[in-house]
Structure 1
Amino acid sequence: MDRIPRLLQQVTFRRFWTAQTISYLGDQVSTIALPLTAVLALNASAAEMGFLGALASLPNLLFALHVGGFVDRHGHLRRTMVWCDLGRAAVLVTVPIAYALDALTLSHLWVVAFATGTLAMLFNVSSNSMFAAVVKREDYVQGTSLTRGSFSFSWVAGPGLGGMLVQVLSAPLALVADVLSFLGSAFLLKTVDAEEPPPQKERSGSHIKDGLRFVNRTPVLRAKFIGGGLLNFFYTVYFTLFLLFIARELKLTPGMIGVALGLGAVGALLGSFVTGRVTRRVGIGPTFLLGSLLFPGALALVPFATDHTWVAFGLVVAAELVSGMGLMLCDIAGSSIQQALTPDRFRSRVQGAYLGLINGVRTVGALVAGGLGTLIGLRPALWFAVIGGVLSCLPLLLAPVFRMRELPEQAE
């Protein structure tokens, strides 16, 4: 932790990190503003909500592996990130415009979800490679804690902020704030001055195969990817139905939803503060495992809730608070392990594999959520997601993660 102030005093890193944080926050505001637009403005069904969630994550399944190779070969990382931010702003602004003209449709939202998902995936792969240009190797762990910490924090704070904006502005108009966030991120990135890593010259197919081979022959990374894929699948099932469940069955208002999710950011903030301390006390591997259990396990409080509004509100708040803390323990520790194991030349390929093989399962999870919500009901489907999420830590238990007290040496 002693080097974090020094990193934040470096103008280049500070601008890069701030732009990343703003862009990530914008992504997560969209994750609640778009679905709530579908629910509140267009009265979407469970199946239609599942399709919307699937389209948002489908680009990871279709393109992420190839994008990792593309980024390694062509470079221009900062320019790519700027254009991704500007593109998302341009696409999202069409929603409030269409709403104001009484021309908004579900098909429009589906196109927006797919386009913004594609640009977010390209931004994240480029950002992961740009990290090596901005942060010195001896600062990787601390830089990772900051960048992944802001990413994880956005997962909790963004939906909460989005819920409050929906309450104040209405769901479609809340996306105007999202548009401004992407414009601010693009402006900051334009001012980042760093020497980018040189483009690699291998063929695209070689890039993809090398990235997958590297992950497969590294036991801890392999377990992290399998466990993370399962966790992403079950969490997507959960979150796709979560808003529908608490809005329609628990009768929480958009304001209460925003406050509950916003208070989850407090848990994430606490998690970011204590991760270093927990890691020093029990080790990096056990911290990763603890977070992998807390993050999905705390969500059991939501399907446990009754339809008594204030009791339900309290349980949702508690679930988000503890889950947010677990998310930070899991993501900061897990990402630090991945950064330590991965050589610079594999960074984009491994990140592309991560997005393709892990986030890609969100597409399947969203479709499964729509089917389960329709066939067995929202509450049983949420229980299915929570139990599956807890069991997703089994691959980590079978790998040498629990015995890992310090960050591992770089794998070759």
Structure 2
Amino acid sequence: MRDFRFLLAGAAAGQAGAQVTLVALPLVAVLELKAPAFQVGLLTAAETAAFLLIGLPAGAWVDRMRKLTLMIRADVVRSLAMASVPLAAVADVLTMAQLYVVALVVGVATVFFDVAHQSYLPQLLPREHLVAGNGALETVRSSAQVAGPGLGGGLVQLVGAHLAIVADAIGYAVSALFLLAIRRPEPKPEPVPGASLRKDVAEGLRFVLGHPLLRVIAGTTALGNFFTAMLMATQTIFLVRVLDLPPAAIGAMLSASAVGGLAGALCAGRLAGRFGQARIIWLSALATGPFALLWPLSGKGPAAALFAVASGVVFFGAVVYNVAQVSFRQTLCPPRLLGRMNATLRFMMWGTLPLGALVGGAVADASGARTALWICATGFLAVPLPLLLSPLRRMRDLPETAHPETEDDDRQDATPGHDESVPVA
């Protein structure tokens, strides 16, 4: 448990800095570089484009590396990339082109970090503690999201958007230091004779696409992420240029979604126990999605609170959904496939993020940010439909074993020196 606490501490430091940047980076574009809505959407797309560009091979690469070492290196890269923004701004040479490059580099490092992080957790915790462990990580992440945007908005108002980004560079550096303190030895994965990148990627795809529950979870999450990206690409434009809010108020507004997320993380385990892990996946999306309609209905003055309420409720449901489905994925997958499974799902789920950001920025540029939010909110109503049309709707709990065909493949692919029966621990 000592090593898991360091993993939690690293997650807290990295997330705290990242949440400051959630407010500060778009404000650098909007307030300091006077970027139009489409360029802000393009910046959001650049942050997530890596999941679409390298998401699939990243999993195969991660399965061949030590996860902890990879996470440390990714944190160092992210820290240096973010530090370049305030340095360029102070030298008066900062441009949107640099912001795009920084966002893309940080995104690539984040792909490797996230895939390795989700694949490393089962090495620290036994299978029966994965839901609690994922819940703790979501609690830490949501806690950082509560404080981070408010801190970011305050820093932007106090020292300027570009200097506020220093907090993100520091956060990633501190995260790397916490990860360095983990002592659990991690052997380097043994090479499999005859393996190739193409075969490894194909194996991950077969595992995910061959399981009906993973397919529907992937499709549902991809749909939700598309409309979430539309929100992320347009909310800063909407809050600054439509609701006329100052940076500190914007930070407080974005913290509302984190308050909902924190509540979801704290309640996820109990809700899954009461309603069932399968049932809570579709129920969380169905019950909270309609509140997204409050985003475009919000206005200036007291009516701005509608935006905060919508964010809090929608992200409560999103975190409950995530804790349940991520824990299921980690339980289901054989240890040797964790990296490829997570990367394949990230490719499918997160690959829609840059597309949604581009659509959101384009719609906001052409028809206004409120129109983009109406499309986004309507989309959230459709998110639970794949779940309701799947076998999940008739299940209370999720199965704990892999698809029979996948298990057969695992036994056939087993090679000397690589024990496929090693439990997740």
Please give the TM-score of this superposition, normalised by the length of structure 2: 0.89
Partners of 2:81 and 2:105 within 8 A in 1: yes
In structure 1, distance between residues paired with 2:142 and 2:52: 21
**Residue aligning to 1:5:** none
**Bigger shift: 211-220 or 316-325?**
316-325
Question: Aligned letter for 1:273?
Answer: L
| CA drift at 1:295 | 5.1
In structure 1, distance between residues paired with 2:394 and 2:135: 21
| CA drift at 1:323 | 2.1
Task: Describe the shift of the 1:404–1:153 C-alpha distance in structure 2 as closer, same or farther (beyond 3 A).
Answer: farther
In structure 2, distance between residues paired with 1:34 and 1:101: 17
Q: Secondary structure at the residue paired with 2:391?
A: coil
Match of 1:409 among 384, 400, 410: 400
Matched, 1:254 2:239: no
In structure 1, distance between residues paired with 2:165 and 2:35: 18
Task: Describe the shift of the 1:304–1:51 C-alpha distance in structure 2 as closer, same or farther (beyond 3 A).
Answer: same
Matched, 1:52 2:15: no
Matched, 1:143 2:143: no
**Residue aligning to 2:72:** 82
Task: Describe the shift of the 1:159–1:359 C-alpha distance in structure 2 as closer, same or farther (beyond 3 A).
Answer: farther
In structure 1, distance between residues paired with 2:389 and 2:150: 35
**Residue aligning to 2:182:** 192
Please give the TM-score of this superposition, normalised by the length of structure 1: 0.92
Partners of 2:78 and 2:169 within 8 A in 1: yes
Partners of 2:11 and 2:175 within 8 A in 1: yes
**Bigger shift: 127-136 or 191-200?**
191-200
Question: Aligned letter for 1:309?
Answer: G
Match of 1:400 among 386, 391, 398: 391
**Residue aligning to 2:419:** none
| CA drift at 1:152 | 5.2
In structure 2, distance between residues paired with 1:205 and 1:55: 26
Matched, 1:103 2:74: no
In structure 1, distance between residues paired with 2:399 and 2:141: 23
Count residues in correspondence: 400
Matched, 1:180 2:170: yes
- For residues 226-256 of structure 1, give each alpha carbon's deviation from its aligned partner in whole angstroms, at most 9, with x where no partner exists: 1111111111012200110111111111111
Matched, 1:263 2:256: yes
Partners of 1:291 and 1:326 within 8 A in 2: yes
Partners of 1:30 and 1:162 within 8 A in 2: yes
Match of 1:71 among 62, 72, 76: 62
Cα-Cα RMSD: 1.8
- For residues 110-131 of structure 1, give each alpha carbon's deviation from its aligned partner in whole angstroms, at most 9, with x where no partner exists: 1111111111111111112221
In structure 2, distance between residues paired with 1:359 and 1:176: 27
Task: Describe the shift of the 1:160–1:285 C-alpha distance in structure 2 as closer, same or farther (beyond 3 A).
Answer: farther
In structure 1, distance between residues paired with 2:351 and 2:196: 23
Superposed, 1:112-151 pairs within 5 Å as 112-151=102-141
**Residue aligning to 2:302:** 310
In structure 2, distance between residues paired with 1:295 and 1:89: 35
Question: Aligned letter for 1:102?
Answer: D
| CA drift at 1:310 | 2.5
**Bigger shift: 221-230 or 354-363?**
354-363
In structure 2, distance between residues paired with 1:264 and 1:366: 18
In structure 2, distance between residues paired with 1:381 and 1:295: 20
Question: Aligned letter for 2:37?
Answer: A
In structure 2, distance between residues paired with 1:100 and 1:146: 38
Q: Which runs of 5+ in 2 are unaligned?
A: 408-425
Q: Secondary structure at the residue paired with 2:397?
A: coil
Task: Describe the shift of the 1:41–1:165 C-alpha distance in structure 2 as closer, same or farther (beyond 3 A).
Answer: same
Question: Aligned letter for 2:25?
Answer: L
Match of 1:235 among 228, 249, 261: 228
In structure 2, distance between residues paired with 1:405 and 1:210: 29
- For residues 341-371 of structure 1, give each alpha carbon's deviation from its aligned partner in whole angstroms, at most 9, with x where no partner exists: 2221221011111221111111111111121
**Bigger shift: 330-339 or 17-26?**
17-26
Task: Describe the shift of the 1:61–1:152 C-alpha distance in structure 2 as closer, same or farther (beyond 3 A).
Answer: farther
Task: Describe the shift of the 1:178–1:14 C-alpha distance in structure 2 as closer, same or farther (beyond 3 A).
Answer: same
Q: Secondary structure at the residue paired with 1:402?
A: helix
In structure 1, distance between residues paired with 2:187 and 2:398: 24
In structure 2, distance between residues paired with 1:76 and 1:279: 32
Matched, 1:369 2:360: yes
Question: Aligned letter for 1:276?
Answer: G
| CA drift at 1:192 | 0.6
**Residue aligning to 1:4:** none
In structure 1, distance between residues paired with 2:93 and 2:288: 39
In structure 2, distance between residues paired with 1:294 and 1:24: 27
| CA drift at 1:173 | 0.9
| CA drift at 1:136 | 2.0
- For residues 280-323 of structure 1, give each alpha carbon's deviation from its aligned partner in whole angstroms, at most 9, with x where no partner exists: 222112211132235543232120113x32221x1122122212
**Residue aligning to 2:2:** 11
**Residue aligning to 2:373:** 382
In structure 1, distance between residues paired with 2:151 and 2:288: 20
Q: Secondary structure at the residue paired with 1:93?
A: helix
**Residue aligning to 2:416:** none
Partners of 1:58 and 1:114 within 8 A in 2: yes
Question: Aligned letter for 1:28?
Answer: Q
**Bigger shift: 122-131 or 28-37?**
28-37
**Residue aligning to 2:53:** 62
Task: Describe the shift of the 1:153–1:384 C-alpha distance in structure 2 as closer, same or farther (beyond 3 A).
Answer: farther
In structure 1, distance between residues paired with 2:21 and 2:287: 25
In structure 1, distance between residues paired with 2:18 and 2:349: 18
Partners of 1:268 and 1:325 within 8 A in 2: yes
Question: Aligned letter for 1:250?
Answer: L
Partners of 1:165 and 1:174 within 8 A in 2: yes
| CA drift at 1:166 | 2.0
